[in-house]
Amino acid sequence: MLKDSAMPNSYWGDGVLYATHIINRIPTRVLPDGVTPHEAYTGSKPSVAHLRVFGCKAHVHIPDEKRNKLDAKSLECTHLGYAENRKAYRLVHRPSGKIIESCDVVFHEGSAPSRVLITDDSTSEGVSNSKESDTDSLSGDSDAPDNPPAATARGRTSDRD
């Protein structure tokens, strides 16, 4: 999973937690009649509607109160799994390395993973591999991608020869 999603080995723990989450929702031969481990433990069938591809691109919505009028409305992140204590997705903003938990996410599962600017060593230029959780980091100031629209020159048809 780590190699397919172009994630560094430092996210190995997140991959294990994600794989465990999936395995607990798949029927096993050990339990009778196609029962899943989750169903055996809780007594109810697990939902799989929330499952997403590990390492896929995702856009996290930045709330209105945490951004200015002209700031980006979302932050491009990579899916790591699921939050432990609430119903939310766990994502990483790869350029900064910040971990974000949010339930307001749009996933792009069919797209190739974003293979940008992240390595295991912290000596890389402009890259922080901080693993501390920063769920309130969506200020829109320094975390928002800086993608201003490109200006195009439009000439009148009479100006062209």
Pairing of strands 98-102, 74-82: unpaired
This prediction has a pTM of 0.64
Write the DSSP assignment of 61-121 as a string of letters. Answer: EPPGGGS-TTS-SEEEEEEEEE-SSSS-EEEEETTTTEEEEES-EEEETTSPP---S--SS
The most confident of 23-32, 118-127, 147-156, by mean pLDDT: 23-32
Check whether 156 has a pLDDT greater than 60.
no
Share of the chain above pLDDT 90, in %: 38
pLDDT of amino acid 112: 57
Give dist(CA 156, CA 151) in Å, integer. 16
CATH of domain 9-108: 2.30.30
| Inter-residue contact 94 to 115 (CB < 8 Å) | no
Chain mean pLDDT for the chain: 76
User: In this predicted model, what pLDDT tens digit does every residue of 77-92 receive, in sequence order?
Assistant: 999 999 988 999 999 9
Residue pointed to by tokens 């856009």: 59
Confidence of residue 28 (pLDDT cuts 50, 70, 90): confident
Mean pLDDT value across residues 46-61: 90
Structure tokens at 126: 């402009």
List the single range of 21-35, 43-57, 62-76, 144-158 with lowest mean pLDDT: 144-158
